[in-house]
Amino acid sequence: MDYSYLALKFLIGGGVLVGVTFLAEQADPKYGGILAAAPITTTLAILFTYSEAGQVTTQQLVMDAFWFVIPTLLFLLALYLLMARYPLLPSFGGAYGIWLAAVVVMNR
């Protein structure tokens, strides 16, 4: 395993997270949301998977990512609604519970 390549992937992913929080805090949460919702992480995963595993595995990754966006949408909706009634950590717990249930249903 090439550890410098692994470190590069880690730094790129971390850079996206830093960008999201920076934009949300310093500019406008809307811009942080745009970056968080942008397919940057998916694009990076697809590029790295293609370079390491080839076309067929990458195509399957793209199709699976498409279908598993549905649980992510449910997670975001649940988190938004739960945060109106509960503190952040319980809201995350409930939203992740809904996400996990949706993943199990989608995976069958």
Structure-token match 């550890």, residue found:
3
Instruction: Please report, as a single letter, which amino acid is at residue 36.
Output: A
Residue 46 pLDDT > 90, yes or no? yes
Distance CA 85, CA 105 (A): 26
Compute the half-sphere exposure of residue 81: CA atoms within 13 Å on the CB side of its CA: 10
- The structure's pTM equals 0.76
Residue 16 pLDDT > 90, yes or no? no
Q: For residue 33, report the phi and psi dihedrals to the nearest 5 degrees.
A: -65, -40
Residue 103's contacts (CB-CB under 8 Å, 6 or more residues apart) are 68, 71
Residue 50 pLDDT > 90, yes or no? yes
Residue 52 pLDDT > 80, yes or no? yes
Residue 79 pLDDT > 80, yes or no? yes
What are the extents of the domains in the chain? 1-66, 68-108
For residues 72-98, give the mean pLDDT.
97
